[in-house]
Structures are given as C-alpha cells and as structure tokens.
Amino acid sequence: MNYSLWLPLSNIKTYLFAVLFIAGNVLFPMLFHAVPHGGHIFLPIFFFTLVGAFRYGLYVGLFTAICSPLLSHWLMAMPTIAMLPIIISKSLILASCASFAARYIKKHLLLTITLVVFAAQILGFLAEWIIVSDVAFAFHDLRMGLPGMALQIFGGSYLIAFKRK
C-alpha cells in the first residue's frame, strides 16, 4: 500500500500541510513539557515531522523540520538556542529518512517506520556528537529518547495508516 503522496513545491497543499504539521509540532510538546525532561524523553517536536514527511513527502517534511523548532523557540524559548542546531539537524535527518522510505518502501508500515526512526536516531546521534563534540552527551540524549521513539513508531504508524471514511 502506498502511504505517501510526495507533494511538489508547486502544490498549495504542500504549504497547507506543512503549516498543519508545524502547528502540531509546536503544540504537541506543550503536553510533554509538564513532565520533567518530557521533551528529552518523548521527543514530541519530531512527531509531526515524521508523520508529515512520511505521508506527504520531502518538502512537507523539510518545512516542518526547519520551521517547527524555530517557531517553538520564538514563541516559548523551547528548544533553547543552544539546542536549535541539534534539533534542526535531527529533524532534517528524520524528514529525509521518512520521506524516502515512504517513497520507495510500499509494504510493512510498522517495520518501515521502526527502521526510519532507528536510522534517524543513529544518524541524529552522529550529528549531535559532531555538533557538541561530546559522545557521552549525545549517547545520553539517545538513551533518554527511547520512550519517544516508541511514541513515534506506534503513534506515527497509526496516524499514517489512518484513513478518513
């Protein structure tokens, strides 16, 4: 089954869906920031980047990946300015992995999303290690985010597979 539409830049729906997913990525983390370290544990700012990129393609994913953390920082100072390069890098990696997997892998949604999340986390770990030059810090972030990875895998798979009647 094909879950991805891969919207082009010339389509107004690309921008409308990007705005929708950006709003989700700004609002969804508010639920988790009430929990101590909720952002690090549940990775909510990545959730709609995954769904948007997988469902609607690279451009929706890239817009969401870049604009969500910037808008969230501007509105609520979260993520912090120091974390913005890391969050944006990880978001861009996730959007790229999700959109290309959706385009080329047509079966086994849950397995595909699992592979996307783990590939993005490993590449994101490497990017964070390069940015902060501290492997222990990068590994700590990776380990803390395990519940968020599960949320992305199961929640993301559910939203991507959900069809309106």
pLDDT digits (tens, 9 = 90+) for 98-112: 999 999 998 899 999
Q: What is the pLDDT of residue 34?
A: 86
CA 85 to chain centre: 14
- 115, 123, 113, 104: which is closest to 157 by C-alpha? 113
In angstroms, what CA-CA distances link 130 with 8, 55, 89, 96, 104? 32, 30, 11, 19, 29
Can you give the residue ranges of every domain in the chain?
12-161
* Distance between CA atoms of residues 139 and 137, nearest Å: 5
Q: What is the pLDDT of residue 110?
A: 97
Q: What is the pLDDT of residue 164?
A: 57
pLDDT digits (tens, 9 = 90+) for 51-78: 999 999 999 999 999 999 999 999 999 9
Regions of the chain where pLDDT drops below 70: 1, 164-165
